[in-house]
Structure 1
Amino acid sequence: MVQAPVKTQEITLMLASPRGFCAGVDRAIQIVEQALSKYGPPVYVRHEIVHNRYVVEDLERKGAIFVEELDEIPDDAKVIFSAHGVPKSVPEAAEDRGLFYLDATCPLVSKVHVEAGRHFAQGSEIVLIGHAGHPEVVGTMGQLPEGAVTLIETVADAEAFEPRDPAKLAFITQTTLSVDDTAAIVAVLQRRFPEIAAPHKEDICYATTNRQAAVKSMAPKVEAMLVIGAPNSSNSMRLVEVAERAGCRVSMLVQRASDIDWQALQGISAVGITAGASAPEVLVEEVIDAFRAHYDVRLETVPVVQENVSFKLPRALMS
């Protein structure tokens, strides 16, 4: 068994600001909670409402039932679509069955869906920069007929891509990507296809951009970075990568305080702590408490930008 550090050792914990919940995640969770309050349990949710087991399990205790497909839901049930967005075929199938549904898709993801539809209507071939299999990518590609969107994951993909007509080409992106990786891919596409249409406003969401900027700001001041989040959370995994590239010799993802590798932190005097956009602040507090049980802790907040974004709930929940 690994010995924990002696508690008399001092350590500085630098807390990223902003961190944790973004407006889209907060809205999605509110939609489930308000639906449970208004309609009573159970309320079904297609896919994890956000990628965080603590959040999902908390909602399950309140009466939410999480499923992967609509055929797991009874005919008289109420269903919510996750914050990541769904292919058009999903609400169509719900309507065919007469299911009552609420769409918790993040408005910034919906913006990308609208962009894709606009480019398609104009006859453009669409490139989506993103990660294969991620629910957001599945949902975005599912807005249009099969073959209308080409997925590009890497710079190599961008170099190899051959469009039908370079003069009728547009790109969109997943909202939770690495800002730097995406910029490198976009640079290749724009070099190869100077006429490619870009989003009117960057698709990578404000929360992803801000959390990555906060990690970059903290990285030179710390020896290790702890990112609180889930392994299936794209924005959380990107924060781990950003910290590594910014020079943190230890960069680890933890879902809960129990995941902390204390041995990897031996001899380290300054640790950065951040949280992915779907990780609640209670988990940050849990990690801080765990450090206090092992170290003499000094807390410091590293503010980068103040966020004041909020999104309205669906009308059905407002009445």
Structure 2
Amino acid sequence: MPDLPPLTLSLAAPRGFCAGVDRAIKIVEMALQKWGAPVYVRHEIVHNRFVVDALKAKGAIFVEELADCPTDRPVVFSAHGVPKSVPAEAAARNMIAVDATCPLVTKVHNEAARHHEAGTQMIYIGHAGHPETIGTMGQLPPGEVLLVETVEDVAKLTVRDPAKLAFITQTTLSVDDTAEIAAALKSRFPLIQAPAHDDICYATTNRQAAVKAMAPKIDALLVIGAPNSSNSRRLVEVGTAAGCPYSMLIQRAADIDWRALEGVRAIGLTAGASAPEILVTEVIDAFRARYDLTLDLVETAVEDIEFKVPRILREPV
């Protein structure tokens, strides 16, 4: 057997599942245990095909709209959150509804509601069409939340009263990009109220920090995550911005473009917040089969946060 070429694989830590994703998956599994199959889930519980397929195999049925759910079976709302109209519709149909919205997204919803009660118009930094954006903007009446995606969008805003404005953000954005947009908002609207604490979640921030820390020592970055996962796509962008010449999103080991990695001797590996560790192991094994592998852990934070599941799952049937 020929000698394998040497390769250093830097593993980001933290990576993969965050507390909100762990909780959301546990909620679906507990709902299946409590009420039996099928349990309906409105939208992918988290943005990862591997996770969704595993839950389907246990009896979860994923739908996009509440109208696609029968009224005699429980429905779980995804970790991204839903507009207020969705739980209201579930209540009107007398459905058993379980909310798996990440508590950090719920915090942003509550922030928006408090500002609205004070007569303040909201500006939301986020991505149009993303479920979290739809859910957060759907907490308030139309026109009460204005969406901006870029610094250029800030210049085009038409607001009701520049003295009564506040901004909130999607939890899975790039820390650096959001800081630029927030600075543009503060420059154009000096009286705008910023969030008391960063809306970008701790897990998103930590995973981006680990990528920045490993960027100077790697020639290529692989991010395990789904194409529709906002936090995973942001990790690719953060790697590129940090100077990594090749940053690529893969769903699993089969997606690795080995030809693009020819001659590379140092690669970074991380995973988005909805990607399970089993996919990281799969990728490491694929590298081990092709290289004389040295693993290098790049740890920038230790996460020990855990969120409780909703009370309805802890009560007897």
Shorter-chain-normalised TM-score: which range?
over 0.9
The answer to whether the 8 A contact 1:7-1:293 is kept is no
Distance 1:298 1:72, change over 3 A: same
5+ residue gaps, structure 2, are none
Q: 2:12 aligns with which of 1, 13, 16?
A: 16
Structure 1 residue 162, shift from structure 2 partner: 2.8
Are 1:187 and 2:183 counterparts? yes
Question: Aligned AA for 2:19?
Answer: A
- Aligned with 2:194 (options 192, 198, 203): 198
Identity %: 67
Which of 292, 303, 316 aligns to 2:312? It is 316
Match of 1:209 among 205, 222, 225: 205
| Pair 1:143 & 2:139 matched | yes
**How far has the Cα of 1:38 moved from its partner?**
1.3
Task: Classify the secondary structure of the residue corresponding to 1:237.
Answer: helix
**Are 1:44 and 2:67 counterparts?**
no
Is the aligned partner of 1:302 residue 2:298? yes
TM-score scaled by length of structure 1? 0.97
TM-score, normalized by length of structure 2?
Answer: 0.98
Q: 2:283 aligns with which of 283, 287, 290?
A: 287
One-letter code aligned to 1:99: M
Q: Which residue of 1 aligns with 2:266?
A: 270
Greater Cα shift, 235-244 or 287-296? 287-296
* Distance of 1:179 and 1:49 partners within structure 2: 24
Task: Give the C-alpha shift of residue 163 in structure 1.
Answer: 1.6
Q: Distance in 2 between matches of 1:184 and 1:7?
A: 48
Counterpart of 1:249 in structure 2 is: 245
2:281 counterpart letter in structure 1: E
Does 2:159 align with 1:159? Answer: no
CA shift digits 1:273-316 (9 cap, x unpaired) = 00000000000000001111111111111110111111001111
Aligned to 2:96: 100
Counterpart among 202, 214, 221 of residue 225 in structure 1: 221
2:109 paired residue number: 113
Q: Who is 1:173 aligned against?
A: 169
Q: 1:160: how far off?
A: 2.1
3-state SS in 1 of match to 2:187: helix
Cα distance in 2 for partners of 1:300, 1:76 equals 51
Q: CA deviation at 1:237?
A: 0.1
How far residue 7 of structure 1 moved from its aligned partner, in angstroms, is 6.2
Find the residue that maps to 1:294 and give its secondary structure.
coil
Distance 1:30 1:100 in 2: 17
Q: CA separation of 1:7/1:36 partners in 2, compared to 1, >3 Å: closer, same or farther?
A: farther
Structure 1 vs Structure 2 CA RMSD: 0.8
Counterpart of 1:3 in structure 2 is: none
Task: Quote the Cα distance in structure 2 between the aligned partners of 1:148 and 1:193.
Answer: 17
Residue in structure 2 matched with residue 84 of structure 1 by the alignment: 80
Counterpart Cα distance in 2 of 1:72 and 1:163 = 37
Structure-2 change in CA distance of 1:262 and 1:43 (3 Å)? same
CA distances 1:73-118 after superposition (whole Å, capped 9, x unpaired): 1120100000000000000111111100100000000000000001
Measured after TM superposition, the shift of residue 248 of structure 1 is 0.8
Q: Which consecutive aligned stretches of 4+ in structure 1 deviate over 2 angstroms post-superposition? A: none
Is residue 119–residue 126 contact of structure 1 (8 Å, CA) maintained in 2?
A: yes
Matched residue SS, 1:150:
strand
Aligned residues: 314
Amino acid at match of 1:216: K
Name the CA distance, whole Å, in 1 between partners of 2:156 and 2:3: 54
- Residue 10 of structure 2: SS of its match in structure 1? strand
Match of 2:257, SS state, is: coil
Aligned partners of 1:116, 1:201: CA distance in 2, in Å? 13
- Stretches of structure 1 lacking an aligned partner (at least 5 in a row): 1-5
Instruction: Name the CA distance, whole Å, in 1 between partners of 2:204 and 2:212.
Output: 12
Map of 1:60 onto structure 2: 56
Partner-residue secondary structure (3-state), 2:289: helix
Give, as a single letter, the amino acid of the residue that structure 1 aligns with 2:192: I
**1:71 Cα offset (Å):** 1.1
Shift of 1:159: 2.1
State the SS of the aligned residue for 1:95: helix
**C-alpha distance in 1, partners of 2:3/2:67?**
53
